[in-house]
Chain A
Amino acid sequence: MTEGSPGTGSPEKTGSPGKTRIGGTAVTTVTGATEESVAAAVAAATTATTEAAVSANPLRDPRDKRLPRVAGPCVLVLFGVTGDLARKKLLPAIYDLANRGLLPPGFSLVGFARREWRDQDFAQLTHDAVKQHARTPFREEVWKQLSEGIFFCPGEFTDDGAFDALAMMLKEIDETRGTGGNYGFYLSVPPKFFPVVVEQLKRTDLAHGPEGAWRRVVIEKPFGHNLKSAHELNAITSAVFPESSVFRIDHYLGKETVQNIMALRFANNLFEPIWNRGYVDHVQITMAEDIGIGGRAGYYDGIGAARDVIQNHLLQLLALVAMEDPTSFDADSLRREKEKVLKAVQLPQDLARSTARGRYAAGWQGGQQVVGYAQEEGIPSDSITETYAAIKLEIANRRWAGVPFYLRTGKRLGRRVTEVAVVFQKAPHLPFSKDDTEILGHNALVIRVQPDEGITVRFGSKVPGTAMEVRDVSMDFAYGESFMESSPEAYERLLLDVLIGDPPLFPHQREVELSWKILDPIEEFWASQGVPEDYPAGSWGPASADEMMARDGRVWRRL
């Protein structure tokens, strides 16, 4: 988790939805088309893998689009139930799924932690988490359905007895609740515990189901801290679970806007013709956070912004924006295209001139005085960890050769925003006088990932008046608060995909390794560079990042 505030979908209204503005003048967007394209892409993405179930079930019919994808009977075992992620995201997401009628009858949830708890204590924790963080209204009957299937297994990860008890408990749940031996194991624990938990699952034979039952394991980032450790981590899980049963969660890929990148690109004819080096000048992918590291010093120090964010979220966004069109939206085709483009990513020759890093110093952020990274509690005095990272990448293929992709991320920046901006070349010829277009910039298409999910198109427009003055304006398509209120949260979508066994939105191990191959040389170079450059909290990063862009004759978008 790298986001600060968990977006639990507060229903506040900041404006009318789906709004389109251009300066002061109105422009109409055909939002229906976008919605259709989303539906098309989502439908394509979801039908492919459920075919087997559909053909076996007489009540399912591909034409019957009202019937939602419902997970089959199963148990979800959650390791690390007391963590922030479980309380703020996972448990509420499970309730929301139940509330939408997407969980099967008999669905059971087993918590495992080092607490002297009984089932009702865990149920209470879940109840509180749901009440506080769920996106859908609390309904007594839904809670009753869910709470009947909540169990708790106390124990340490190293305690054989606890896992034997877990195995017994699961067997009993199969009998009393008809879950058919289908178990998902969600490891919401630090990676150092993976080996022992996975080993325990193997020892108790929980990792391999009988014929006709599935076993899946869900792991959260970080997937290692470099290529070597990613290999090692994978060796641990793959020794016990086949790759097809390993679900790596990158919650960004569960976000509606990220999935909409595919709809935008492949369901429309408007953008794809210009989506190449012939028209695109460069691409900026940004994830800015306004928060500091909070209480995560132990995790963050030694990892830094690039490993925490660029390796997974930003490179995945890059892959989705730059990849060729997949032959279909099933997991194989999609992952193949992402891998191809990640393989084509090239690092610049001179890392000193094409990367930048920084760490926040004390300053004022959004009206609050905050301390610098070095003064945060638990940070060693000799830390050289960066909290801001910017890198320039190129993609060596016919579509993108010569088009730089600038990736940046940082903590304690001006505000929280994640976006992908495709910046187009300037018009080859302007029939206006130089004075008329002096302040005209580049056209851009911006995919706003969060907050205020949507799409912005920036283009030149005449300023009303008798003179011919052309100026940049932007046109917004907002998914709007009203859309988001009912659209599923990223974890909801991803949890459902795990239970259904639908993997397109989960990165494959090969993608993880390719991402580390891109990042490792940069990290090695940075390790030799000493303390990162300071930038004041609340600013937009160190001066070296701006210089890096200036060398290419470009600027970062002001966010």
Chain B
Amino acid sequence: MTSFMLSDTTASKISAQLTHLRHQMGSPAVGMVLTLVVVCDEGEQYDAVRAATEAAREHPSRILVVIARDPAEPNRLDAELRVGESTPGEVILLRLYGELTEHADSVVSPLLLTDTPVVAWWPRHSPDIPAKDSVGMLAQRRIVDARPAAEPVKAIASRARAYVPGDTDLAWTRLTPWRSLLAAAFDQPVGKVKKGVVEAAADHPSAPLLAAWLSERLGAPVKVADSAGPGLTRVTLSTAAGDVTITRSDARLATLSRPGQPDRQVALTRRPTSELIAEELRRLDPDEVYEAAIRRVARSHKG
């Protein structure tokens, strides 16, 4: 891997340096399918870059990491360029100082790949309205995450207010294996569901989302209850014939029980962030099912 530092630089110098590095490596052309803009601070940078780079194995991307530094310093842009065999695509760490911290878009915009999708990801602190954020406005898809928020359930409940097609939350992405398993359980006829309960660790943002999705689809009330965790631990759906339940206590292996049928074990592992990001990058069109779920969470969430 080739790494290159530029201090007190500009977007055009970064661009020129990237071209130069690519030529030097003997592969001068661009075959990347999208630009992923990661907006984070110095402390989160390492994990975020790692996850993004892993995801880039499936979706070769230019990864722009925007790190806001001290706004009191004189205006300055520092850049770290990583191009190489171990990273498919390119990683560019941008460190912004002074007033520039308020104008990240001026640096990001000229570095976007031409005529390919742009995805923005805030691993931790996300703007109130991602689509109105200066970087978010450049992106077709905006990924936020309610889990690290101070009040995760409140955060997920407020998503509907800011929603613009193209928004998505990793708390929703984490649910895909659960939803997939539930959908598979319903591939065999199950009677009308009367009510349901989703149990999860306290203040787990995915739990109300799952409950909202289930009640939206099944037309039955689905409650959220606290458990010891980790993560989601149980979904119970009551029908006239009995309960359909999925229980997972160790965050790895789940048990599916249905009335009149033997219990079955299914792998249901919590996935690393890289897999969540890779899933997000697979489809870049608005997720209407997510929209319906957050709107329902917003309606049912009080306070």
Contact = CB atoms under 8 A, between A and B. Distances in A.
Interface of A: 13, 15-22, 24-32, 35, 39, 53, 56-61, 63-68, 70, 72-73, 98-99, 101, 104-106, 139-142, 144-145, 148, 175-178, 180, 477-478, 480, 482-483, 485-486
A30 B180 contact: no
Interface in B8-57: 22, 27-34, 56-57
B114 interface: yes
Given A180-B188, A486-B58, A477 B31 contact: yes
B225 interface: no
A474 to B, nearest CB: 12
A60 B217 CA distance: 8
A57 B217 CA distance: 10
Given A56-B189, A144-B253, A482-B56, A63 B29 contact: no
Contacts of B32: 18, 31
B264 A21 contact: no
Interface in B53-67: 56-58, 60
21 contacts: A13-B85, A15-B27, A24-B28, A26-B28, A53-B187, A57-B186, A63-B289, A64-B289, A66-B279, A73-B187, A105-B181, A141-B268, A148-B265, A175-B262, A176-B262, A178-B262, A477-B31, A480-B31, A482-B57, A485-B58, A486-B58
B264 A177 contact: yes
B231 interface: no
B28 A106 contact: no
Contact of B114 (A22, A28, A72, A477): A28
Contacts of B154: none
Interface string B52-93: 000011101000000000000000000000000110110000
Most chain A Cβ neighbours within 10 Å, of B29, B181, B283, B287: B29
Interface in B163-199: 173, 176-177, 179-189
B106 interface: no
Contacts of A176: 262
Contacts of B279: 66
Contact of B187 (A72, A177, A482, A486): A72
Q: Taking each of B31, B189, B268, B283, which has the highest tally of chain A beta carbons within 10 Å of its own beta carbon?
A: B31
B91 to A, nearest CB: 13
A142 B269 CA distance: 9
B267 A104 contact: no
Contact of B183 (A31, A35, A65, A70): A70
A26 B29 contact: yes
Specify which of A105, A145, A175 lies most central, judged by the most chain B CB atoms within 10 Å of its CB. A105
A32 B34 contact: yes
Contact of B28 (A25, A67, A144, A175): A25
Nearest to A146: B267
Contacts of B189: 56
A480 B210 CA distance: 36
A423 B92 CA distance: 40
A56 B189 CA distance: 8
A16 B117 contact: no
Given A65-B287, A178-B264, A483-B58, 5 more contacts: A30-B115, A104-B184, A105-B265, A141-B267, A141-B268
Given A30-B116, A32-B34, A19 B187 contact: no
B111 interface: no
A214 to B, nearest CB: 13
B252 interface: yes
A58 B217 contact: yes
B267 A67 contact: no
Contacts of B253: 141, 144-145
Given A13-B85, A67-B183, A59 B218 contact: yes
A486 B279 CA distance: 12
Nearest to B29: A20
